Amino acid sequence: MFANTVAMPVDHRHSHRNQPLPQSSGCKIVIALLAFYALTQFLTSDDLYDFIGSTKKDTDRLGASMATESSIAFAARPNTRNRKSSIEAGATDNGSKQIPASLQTKMNRYPDEYAAVKQYVEDSLSDKPNKRILSFGAATGFEAISLATLYFTGAKHANTLIYGVDLDQHSLDKGMKNVASHVPPIEDNKITFFNGKDTHIEKYGKYDAIFANSVFCLLGIGTFGAYSFEDFENSLRYLDASLNEGGLLAIVNMSYEFSESMLAKRYKPVAKCAGNFVTRYNREKDEWVSLNKKDKMDCVWVKERSYL
């Protein structure tokens, strides 16, 4: 990733360090005073905080880039060989063993995925009176708002409720503010946010569709740790336990292939989506592969049965 650097010999004959300083003591005093004044101005200004923030971002970005390579290399190979044990044992967490790159999102981020789920729901689940949809990793709520105002809206979806879960309360608070300030107003109780740290997603389920976009992956930004295939399986199993038979699981951006999971035997792909940009592990080739955002890949699966 980074080019090797080679230390070059320094020709001290032309180094500024060997140039004579001004001999005048008065000149030295003036220079010192000017330097001191400049330093005090910098320390008492907002520039210092901007400088610190900028430096921290650069440091985090560099550390993230280096951590991505080491985390991916460490995470993949030991766990892609033995996948059955985690499924037999069942999910042991609340879906929190994930590495979200950012708590930021935006309106209508995955339109072809949202549209595919809406179409399937209207075609195949139209007889179901009360439908529930979960935005897993809701962040600041724009996915939930998009679903409620652009897709599952109007008289046809009057009884379709949207739920958003995240582990960051600050983001959820922003999400509630975004709902409250939305124009036109969103009807009361259409969207409900909750914190997955203290509330199991099944409290509001089971669901007819679960979106889990950009949460089961290493994205190269933010907090790093090993996210193994076993962790991926456990996260999927956590969602599966709260998804109705005949319901939809929708995922754009993940570090592993859903088709290689044990759960895939009970699911059928029903839609392909663009927008996948996260590096993905290819088990057959035993390597990580970069994806093209324009390429369409399986992103929506219907749960055909609850058990094998």
The SS3 call for residue 94 is coil
**Measured CA distances, 159 to 46, 124, 126, 165 (Å):** 51, 16, 11, 20
CA distance 26 to 259: 77
Does 92 score more than 70 pLDDT?
no
User: What proportions of the chain, in percent to the nearest 5, are helix, strand and coil?
Assistant: 40, 15, 40
Please, where are the H alpha helices in the chain? 25-43, 46-80, 84-89, 111-124, 142-146, 169-180, 229-240
CA distance 179 to 164: 12
The angle at the Cα of 66, spanning 212 to 223, to the nearest 5 degrees, equals: 40
What pLDDT is attached to residue 157? 94
What pLDDT is attached to residue 139? 93
The pLDDT tens digits for 43-69 are: 444 444 444 444 444 433 333 333 333
Domains of the chain: 79-303 (3.40.50.150)
Give the global pTM: 0.69
pLDDT bracket for residue 217 (50, 70, 90): confident
The pLDDT tens digits for 184-209 are: 999 999 999 999 999 999 999 899 99
**Measured CA distances, 23 to 20, 29, 133, 168 (Å):** 8, 11, 77, 61
What pLDDT is attached to residue 251? 97
